[in-house]
A and B are shown apart, each in its own frame.
Chain A
């Protein structure tokens, strides 16, 4: 209990990391619901990987440009954020265009994207050991000290995401559920797909930057899958997914800090334990 009080204290050194984790835990599952319901779970694993490639690109930019030391004044974190966001947004737009053309298998595209993103990250960081270490830590879900600026950036991104969801969530659900009906109502599914992908891209970018791709994927997918086993309405599904994510972020952080474990894998293991319990005790 003392550990919990410590990490929730405003004087806690890593408090911004805790707050960001909780925000990621609360918001990511809401977007993840769309992936689960649309049966696009692979997208949830491919996009965080692309996002981390953007981070790798930002970290290795000076090496790629032929310099030994960083050539820009912007902080590493800001560069990483820009890299993460731009790579993810380009990926979602390319995926949306390919979706429109409707050629090839969706799973094939996403699987290829995932493996190419991983390979490119490794290649870009091959000549930059320091950046590679930071990137691998992110990949492993190690605890990252985040600044107040990171917390504010994450909060602003999530406020935008939540506002768009509040305003247009109903249409996003309709387009996900019954595209043909949406067309007869004058809605353009491809435009709304793009809106959803942009929301996903933004959420994933800020999540990957603070908690790494593994935990970003975990928070996107596992809470909705767990909630889907116990919820009996869409409202419950959204509420429970978000609660499970937020609660797991706090409890995972607490366990990791107490036992000196990496936060990411601890969070995911905790989420998996909840999921397992629902699998055992529910019928759906």
Chain B
């Protein structure tokens, strides 16, 4: 984390994993407020496990994750294939779920939440297809709805799990551009698991690189340069 950046999260001696087996152990790092990080690494290296632990979905096996704000909100964007197509929600209904944390039992959404949702859908250019069944939307459209849902939670931190997986190059590029815009214009703090090195180099300033149980934290230009990637994987890249 750059020295002049105010921290949002302190992670200390964190071990994450499933059951009794830690996938990653003794991690310590800080995430700055308004920072934009990509979590990079090979398949099965523990990227998603780390993201889910920061989100509070998995309990840390050891260590602590401490937020510097009093009531940290998490806007979580899951892998879109994890959502069961049997549910007949429209895109708008899925996005509305972002306000469920504040909704009063038995009541409709507050007017302010409805207005905010419409604003978000507009910002994310999702108004046009929000009334369609969620399962019938394209991959990119689904991601926009899920990002709207995450932003509706009023998050301190936006967490995304492989948002471009399965998207065509154009949709993936447009999604990275959108996230970059959210980071720049809305000062959103973003942490995203991704495999897309090219787009990460283009749009994301910082990276957490998970490699052989260790975590490297630094600038994307340094950590994800073709030479460094070659070093990390022990291969020569063209």
Contacts and interface: CB of A to CB of B under 8 A. Distances in A.
A170 B106 CA distance: 8
Interface string A167-199: 110110110111011011111000000000000
Interface string B78-99: 1000111011111001000100
B233 interface: no
A185 B89 contact: no
A39 B103 CA distance: 27
Given A167-B105, A178-B78, A181-B78, A36 B86 contact: yes
B12 to A, nearest CB: 21
Contacts of B89: 177, 233-234
B56 A183 contact: yes
Contacts of A170: 100, 103
A186 B57 CA distance: 10
Given A234-B88, A234-B89, A236-B88, A184 B74 contact: yes
Contacts of B76: 180-181, 184
B234 interface: no
Given A176-B87, A181-B76, A236-B88, 18 more contacts: A166-B106, A167-B106, A171-B100, A173-B87, A174-B97, A177-B84, A180-B57, A180-B76, A180-B78, A183-B57, A184-B55, A184-B57, A184-B75, A185-B101, A233-B89, A233-B93, A234-B88, A237-B88
B153 interface: yes
B93 A234 contact: yes
Interface string B48-64: 00001001110000000
B218 interface: no
A174 B109 CA distance: 14
B133 interface: yes
Contacts of A228: 86, 88
Interface size class of A (residues with CB under 8 A): 20 to 34
A206 to B, nearest CB: 23
A185 B153 contact: yes
Chain B contact residues, majority secondary structure: loop
A100 to B, nearest CB: 13
Nearest to B52: A180
| Residue of B86, B89, B133 most packed against chain A (CB within 10 A) | B86
Interface residues of B, number: 26
Contact of A168 (B83, B90, B105): B105
A231 interface: yes
Nearest to B76: A184
Interface of A: 36-37, 39, 166-168, 170-171, 173-174, 176-178, 180-181, 183-187, 228, 231-234, 236-237
Nearest to A166: B106
B84 A233 contact: no
Contacts of B82: 178, 180
Contacts of A180: 52, 55, 57, 76, 78, 82
Contact of B88 (A166, A187, A233): A233
Contacts of B75: 184
Given A178-B78, A180-B76, A185-B101, A232 B57 contact: no
